[in-house]
Amino acid sequence: MKELIQDLVQIAGPSGYEADVREYVQKDLKGHVDEMKVDPLGNLITRKGPKDGSGLNVMLAAHLDEIGVIVTHLDDNGFARFTTVGGVFPRNTVGARVKFLNGTGGVIGMEPTGYSSVTPINQMYIDVGVTKKSEMPVKVGDVAAFERTFEDLGKRLVSKALDDRVGVAVLIEIMKQLKDTPHNVFGVFTVQEEVGVRGAAAAAYGVDPDLGIAIDVTLTGDTPKAKTMDVSLGKGPAIKVKDSGMISDPRVVAWMEAGAKRARIPYQKEILTGGSTDARAIQITREGVPAGCVSIPCRYVHSPSEMVDYKDVQDSVKLLVQLLKRPIKL
């Protein structure tokens, strides 16, 4: 899976501009699923299951998009002002490199306000290496993703956009490995998660699932002086109990725990005090859906250098494949 993850993180796809990532997934899953379509919002919806359509409709969701920036103004000296696309933290932004969708590269600088405090986004700019407005290779409305190489550290992987391309890789592998299931498993690769779980809301309305599961990353509490959180890299996928946007259905949590114990897969319990996932949108679609989330522990989330443990990634695939091979009784 490492090569798959590396390919995915190196494709630029900020929220609303996920087409290249979606195209890669379409090509990779061709021949491995029974159905595949793109809905009007841009979600890629794949299906695998019985030909007669029997069984539960189970929706798995992983989001294609990543955080980024968008140009709001060009000044006379060739600097681009910008705002954020998704949850870009100012503390991670100064000095970061970006790549526009037209191929232009740049570096984020800041006004000389001092280095002892965090500079707000409105006092930053993108320097693309020109000296006047007429030379600018970008325009207002152009979007960029952060630019950072993928690093394989052996047990650990580091890159930008592991949120949530690592989840996309997990979902791709699930759809490939799930050879036999009594359920209609919808592998949904969603758009615009980082700007309000918009894709998942539309996709869930169309799929109308009996059960919804998001596959995303979560924070950890295993770094020096980290905020207290009982999730660590290398201790297995995290089964979400609650985050700031949703409470997982207790029946879904119990089902996941039982499956992990049965398959002897290590797992953790996740309570996230800030942030949410596509599961929030799935849970409240139509008349409501039992929903949960399998989370991949990730350090430095929403920075240009996120980190995951490779075994956690593999065990996330293993857990969900084992769960979906069997009848589901909540």
Q: Using one digit for the tens of pLDDT, what is the confidence trace for 79-92?
A: 999 999 999 999 98
At residue 228, does pLDDT exceed 90?
Answer: no
What is the extent of the structural domain holding 223? 2-66+160-324
With a CB cutoff of 8 Å and minimum separation 6, the contacts of 236 are 260, 265, 266, 267, 268, 312, 315
Total domains in the chain come to: 2
CA-to-CA dists, residue 121 to 94, 306, 319, angstroms: 9, 21, 40
- What is the average per-residue pLDDT within 25-43? 97
Q: If pLDDT is split at 50, 70 and 90, which confidence band does 53 have?
A: low
Both 55 and 72 in one domain: the answer is no
Has 306 been annotated as catalytic? no
Task: Choose the final residue of a domain: 111, 146, 181.
Answer: 146
Q: Which of 44-58, 59-73, 282-296 has the lowest mean pLDDT?
A: 44-58
Q: Which of these is catalytic: 193, 194, 270, 306?
A: 193
pLDDT at site 113: 74
Residue 300 pLDDT exceeds 80: yes
Per-residue confidence band for 109, with pLDDT thresholds at 50, 70 and 90? very high
What percent of the chain clears pLDDT 70, i.e. is strictly above it?
Answer: 99
| Percent of all residues in the chain with a pLDDT value above 90, rounded to a whole number | 91
Domain boundary among 88, 116, 146: 146
Over residues 300-310, the mean pLDDT reads: 96
How far apart are alpha carbons 69 and 83 in whole angstroms?
A: 6
Amino acid at 131: T
Residues 135-186 pLDDT 10s: 999 999 999 999 999 999 999 999 999 999 999 999 999 999 998 899 999 9
CATH number at 83 reads 2.40.30.40
The answer to whether residue 152 sits within a structural domain is no
Look up the CATH number of the domain holding residue 263: 3.40.630.10
Q: State the Cα–Cα distance between residues 262 and 10, nearest whole angstrom.
A: 36
pLDDT at 51 over 80: no
Same domain for 176 and 120? no
Q: Supply the pTM of this predicted model.
A: 0.96
Judge whether residue 198 has pLDDT over 90. Answer: yes
pLDDT tens per residue across span 112-129: 876 678 889 999 999 999
Res 114: pLDDT? 67
- Nearest CA-CA partner of 283 in 242, 318, 321, 316: 242
